[in-house]
Amino acid sequence: MHLSRAAVLGGGPGGLYAARLLKLAYPSCEVTVYEQGTPDATFGFGVGLAAGTQRKLDAADPDTLRDLVAAGHRHDMTLRVGADTVRVRNDRLIGIARTELLAILHRHAEKAGAALEFGSRRTAAELDADLVIAADGVSSETRGNGPFGTRIDVGRGLYLWCGTDFALEDAVFAPVHTEHGTFVTHAYPYSGGRSTFLIETDERTWRNAGFDVSTAATPFDASDEVSLAYLGEIFAEQLRGRPLIGNRTRWLRFRTVRCARWSAGRTVLLGDAAHTAHFSIGSGTKLAMEDAIGLVAALREAPDLATAFARYEAARRPAVERLQELARRSQLWWESFPARLHLPVERLMVAYMTRSGNVPLDRFAATNPDVVAAALTHYAGEQPPPSPDAVTGWVLDRPLIHNGRHYPHRHPARVDANLVTLDEVLTDPWDETGDAVVARARRARADGADGFRFTGPGDRAAVLTRLDLAERVRTEVGGLSVVEAPAALREDLAAGLVSGRTDLASFTGES
């Protein structure tokens, strides 16, 4: 396909990377990036780039990746609850300042021959080009004005993105209890002796602390100084007494964007403009840059724009939707995080790692045997097996004494207790459908039920949600919980047992 002029709307990571790759693929095409901001002014602090992303960037453009890695800051991950700390290794997770990331991408886009125009806001319609790549971010006007079939889901929790003027040793997750409720930080170091310090809370805590008022009083281009001052105090230990730094920092609710179509005419959406995934899986930059790789690969091969856009979407959509689903589960986990703080920190770490069903328990045991061994010791009250390969079977085969009854292992064929069956099929155990199940469970307990059997479809998504529902009921109502699942999902059930999502498993298809 011949392309003589391409316009990229938005100079974030997605747009800049697309401009470079496009110019490398089509040296004779004029490629211009239109960015409303100035080159050195950016919103945000650091972003994380995981090993898998680095591999993909390496394959597409080793020069850019080399500079990103050189500017990045490798770190492990620590979960700290009160005085208890657990640390997991992560050999290839780097944090990089968004300013540095963009500076590197500016340089490489220009080096490839793309032109960068800063300082004015443009619309896709006014750009004179054969191809318009709309990489204009989560609030994309192009998407808003176009026939893309957009759906936006707004999260229940509130988060605030700020920074510190020193580099933390590790990525840190730490909850802090206050008279208003619980705030939890997700913080990680990045280059330049700084750290991203993101703080999350629930709506009730946010209102109790008066942050609905401070949010309303904060102009759109300013930071919520009232919140920053308060949070600086309650996180003083993690912050070593240093202040929190704002950068147009205010409380927000995460918006998950989904579009039925990613292109219309000569315009194609890319990155946050097309889709977002909750920040707790740290994937927004990755998705935007991988979209750029996918789009340019499709453009290179296809005879015309329509075919290229269709192939780009066909190639990228499954990966995007898979990540959005992981992110959705992760978001729900974090929004309900304070309910799990009774768990010892190592089991909480297992719960965190397995929250979306993406990290199998055995794999986590292989990479961080000490953490998993401590979690298993607490779970079973005895020494765990020496081999990580044996973890799933070992977890399932531990005995349980519950309410005076003895179970020889955690997947008994028969449970001799008065169990009420809960078979509601839902997608979010913490929404009003979940509230109704909890209310029903509470009534059943008052009427003498010993516990609950959670049953329903056998597909993995349904089973993971069932485990989450069981966890909620188990935490809020009590009683014995038994989650039914196909035997093929043993590892998910084992992770659920160690994470306190259920007491017992019941395998369908087992005699």
Ligand X SMILES: Cc1cc2nc3c(=O)[nH]c(=O)nc-3n(C[C@H](O)[C@H](O)[C@H](O)COP(=O)(O)OP(=O)(O)OC[C@H]3O[C@@H](n4cnc5c(N)ncnc54)[C@H](O)[C@@H]3O)c2cc1C
Given 100, 136, 170, 313, the residue binding ligand X (CB under 6 A): 136
Given 7, 10, 86, 473, the residue binding ligand X (CB under 6 A): 10
Helix (H) or strand (E) holding 159: strand 158-164
Residue closer to ligand X, measured from CB, 198 or 419: 198
For residues 138 and 142, what is the distance between their CA atoms, to the nearest angstrom?
11
Residue 72: CA count within 13 A, CB half-sphere: 19
Q: How far apart are CA 417 and CA 343, in angstroms?
A: 25
Q: Is residue 135 a contact residue for ligand X (CB under 6 A)?
A: yes
Task: Please name the residue ranges forming H helices in 120-222.
Answer: 141-145, 203-208, 211-217
CB of residue 70 to ligand X, shortest distance in Å = 18
Closest alpha carbon to 63 in 130, 8, 14, 17: 17
Q: How many residues bind ligand X (CB under 6 A)?
A: 34
Task: Indicate whether 141 belongs to the interface with ligand X (CB under 6 A).
Answer: yes
Q: How far apart are CA 233 and CA 227, in angstroms?
A: 10
3 state DSSP class of 393? helix
| Helix axes 490-498 and 345-353, enclosed angle (nearest 10) | 150
Which of 3, 13, 174, 349 is close enough to bind ligand X by CB under 6 A? Answer: 13
For 82, left (φ over 0), alpha (ψ -120 to 50), or beta? left
* Interface pick for ligand X out of 47, 104, 239, 467 (rule CB under 6 A): 47
**Quick one: which of 363, 361, 396 has its CA closest to 380?**
396
Binding residue (CB under 6 A) for ligand X from 11, 175, 357, 496: 11
Alpha-carbon distance 383 to 152, whole Å?
47
Which of 1, 30, 32, 37 lies at the binding interface for ligand X (CB under 6 A)?
Answer: 37
We find the least distance from the C-beta atom of residue 278 to ligand X, in angstroms, to be 9
Task: Examine residue 384 and tell whether it contacts ligand X (CB under 6 A).
Answer: no
- Looking at 129-137, 320-328, 477-485, 501-509, which segment touches ligand X (CB under 6 A)? 129-137
Q: Which stretch binds ligand X (CB under 6 A): 13-21, 148-156, 385-393, 398-406?
A: 13-21
Q: Which two tokens stand for residue 192?
A: 């330049």
For ligand X, which residue of 137, 456, 479, 500 counts as binding (CB under 6 A)? 137
Contact between 6 and 109 (Cβ < 8 Å): no
Tell me the pairing of strands 94-97 and 150-154.
Answer: unpaired
- Judged by CB under 6 A, the residue of 285, 336, 392, 506 near ligand X is 285
Nearer to ligand X, 287 or 351 (CB): 287
Task: Report the nearest approach of ligand X to the CB of residue 186 (Å).
Answer: 8
CA distance 332 to 142: 29
Quick count: other Cβ atoms within 10 Å of Cβ 416?
9
Question: At 466, which helix (H) or strand (E)?
Answer: helix 460-476
CA distances 95 to 56, 81, 457, 497, Å, are 17, 23, 40, 33
Give the interface segment with ligand X, choosing from 8-16, 55-63, 401-409, 473-481 (CB under 6 A): 8-16
Under rule CB under 6 A, residue 496 binds ligand X: no
The smaller minimum CB distance to ligand X, of residues 279 and 352, is found at 279
- Would you count residue 247 as binding ligand X (CB under 6 A)? no
Q: Provide the pairing of β-strand 405-407 with 400-402.
A: antiparallel
Q: Which stretch binds ligand X (CB under 6 A): 31-39, 219-227, 329-337, 493-501?
A: 31-39
Q: Which of 36, 215, 377, 433 binds ligand X (CB under 6 A)?
A: 36
State the Cα angle at 86 between 80 and 87, rounded to 5°: 110
Of 184-243, which residues contact ligand X (CB under 6 A)? 198
How near is the Cβ of 252 to ligand X at its closest, in Å? 7
Q: Does 20 bind ligand X (CB under 6 A)?
A: no
Q: Closest distance between ligand X and the C-beta of residue 407, in Å? A: 42
* Footprint of ligand X (CB under 6 A): 9-15, 34-37, 44, 47-48, 121-122, 135-138, 141, 159, 161, 198, 271-273, 279, 282-286, 288
